[in-house]
Structure 1
Amino acid sequence: LADTIGLGLTATSLIMTGILIAALVLQFTRKCYVPWAYWPAVVLISIVGTLVTDSLVDSFGVRLQTATIAFSVALAATFAVWYASERTLSIHTIFTTRREIFYWLAILLTFALGAAAGDLVAESFDMDYLTSGLLFGGVIALIALAYWLLSLDGILAFWLAYILTRPLGASFGDL
């Protein structure tokens, strides 16, 4: 939309955010997991999370280091408030509106953070996209090994791996 069709980053961001809001409204009307409502929301939130980072960096001149730190802090704060109010971060216990709000906010921030961190590692540290992708994949593999062999908490392992899937995918996508 931004490049091929020529809408630009701002218009694309606004359009995709509007579609995401509609998808989330639909998702919030479901009382349980419904794939046809859930997965479009996931795809759209991944796009919007990436567009948030791209807009900050490309349109407003925010440095990738700054964006990475800011999204890390915002995500940590989201997890802290979520845990303080709900006593869990488990995706298997999302059965209230408040927990679902925390969940979708965390997902949005993971995609924004992942876009910033992925670009930071690949571009700012003069690392090619293949090496960057292998690095993120390797860290995910280490998390999986820590879960299986060292009894790393499953919820922590899930969220750490989930956060790293965005820069992993972005690195291979950019490659």
Structure 2
Amino acid sequence: MNTKQQAIFSKVPEVTLVFWIIKIFATTLGETGGDAVSMSMRLGYLLSTGIFAAIFMVAVIVQIAAKKFHPVIYWTTIIATTTVGTTLADFADRSLGIGYAGGTAILFTLLMASLFIWYRALGTIAVDSVSSPKSEMYYWITIMFSQTLGTALGDWTADTAGLGYGGGAIVFGAMLAIIAVAYYRTRISHTVLFWAAFILTRPLGAVVGDFLDKPISKGGLALSRYSASATLVALIVIAIFMFSHKPAKQGH
């Protein structure tokens, strides 16, 4: 399949600066939106997880059924993974009593297993290879694990490790900056660096989201989860429609 054909059938976006900006907005929205439903609406973690999981399944089905890349469908699916990841991680950490460290360890193992199985099955985990229903299934399962892991990791860093929301944001922001430097200045696999960055944007979004809506007494700004979520949705919509979004091309 040549580059032009791959571009037509690719179902995921080209990785650009706009991609990462929207990704961080989406992960932050996952935290505020997930907390809005589970906490502000008082639906609890389990019921909220069920609601978001159903939305996620519908979004994935629509995404896979689509004949070509659609930015709105793709980012809707990403947002669905961040919200269900938030409530699922909170359910495991708090309701089941696994704790942030235990939840992080379990989810990291599941994520690595997902990437390993994907690689063994298709021979690559590169984003530009996601152009078939089978590769998309591996892609979205892996993303689901990464989003859930990110929530647990962000909470563990901010709460258990005692760095707070600001400290957690600095740590994850610095790690992403190091990955960016490695991308341009080293020969480390760009696929490995992509997944490292993709995973780390989730805990960054988690601590930023918590910083926005948690009480001032706990180091947050105490903003309304509803207004914070609505603002993030507006920013994502603006970014989607203001900038050009192309499907990933083979070999890029």
TM-score, normalised relative to structure 2:
0.67
Q: Does 1:118 align with 2:154?
A: yes
Q: Distance in 2 between matches of 1:50 and 1:102?
A: 20
Q: Does 1:59 align with 2:74?
A: no
Q: Does 1:9 align with 2:9?
A: no
Which amino acid counterpart does residue 167 of structure 1 have in structure 2?
Answer: P
Match of 2:171 among 108, 118, 135: 135
Tell me the residue number matched to 1:69: 105
Q: Does 1:162 align with 2:198?
A: yes
- 2:154 and 2:168 in contact (8 A); partners too: yes
Match of 1:50 among 62, 77, 86: 86
By how many angstroms is 1:71 displaced?
A: 0.7
Which amino acid counterpart does residue 34 of structure 1 have in structure 2?
Answer: H
Q: Distance in 1 between matches of 2:184 and 2:114?
A: 27
Q: Distance in 1 between matches of 2:85 and 2:39?
A: 18
In terms of Rg, which structure is larger? 2
Match of 1:98 among 134, 145, 156: 134
Q: Distance in 2 between matches of 1:36 and 1:128?
A: 33
Deviates more, 1:101-110 or 1:22-31: 22-31
TM-score, normalised relative to structure 1:
0.96
By how many angstroms is 1:151 displaced?
A: 2.2
Tell me the residue number matched to 1:26: 62
Which amino acid counterpart does residue 29 of structure 1 have in structure 2?
Answer: A
Tell me the residue number matched to 1:153: 189
**Relative contact order, CA 8 A, sep 6+: which one is greater?**
2
By how many angstroms is 1:32 displaced?
A: 2.0
Which consecutive residues of structure 1, in runs of 5 or more, have no partner in the other structure? none
Q: Does 1:88 align with 2:91?
A: no
- Partner SS, residue 53 of structure 1: helix
Q: Distance in 2 between matches of 1:145 and 1:170?
A: 23
Aligned residues: 175
- Partner SS, residue 2 of structure 1: helix
Tell me the residue number matched to 2:209: 173
Q: Distance in 1 between matches of 2:105 and 2:145?
A: 12
- 1:32 and 1:95 in contact (8 A); partners too: no
- 2:119 and 2:125 in contact (8 A); partners too: yes
Query: Identity, % of aligned pairs?
Result: 30
Q: Distance in 2 between matches of 1:97 and 1:142?
A: 33
By how many angstroms is 1:11 displaced?
A: 1.7
By how many angstroms is 1:3 displaced?
A: 2.2
Which consecutive residues of structure 2, in runs of 5 or more, have no partner in the other structure? 1-36, 212-252
Q: Distance in 1 between matches of 2:40 and 2:162?
A: 27
Q: Distance in 2 between matches of 1:51 and 1:4?
A: 13
Q: Distance in 2 between matches of 1:128 and 1:36?
A: 33
- Partner SS, residue 38 of structure 2: coil
- Partner SS, residue 124 of structure 2: coil
Deviations along 1:97-149, one digit per CA (max 9) or x if unpaired, are: 11101100110011111111111111111111101110001011101111111
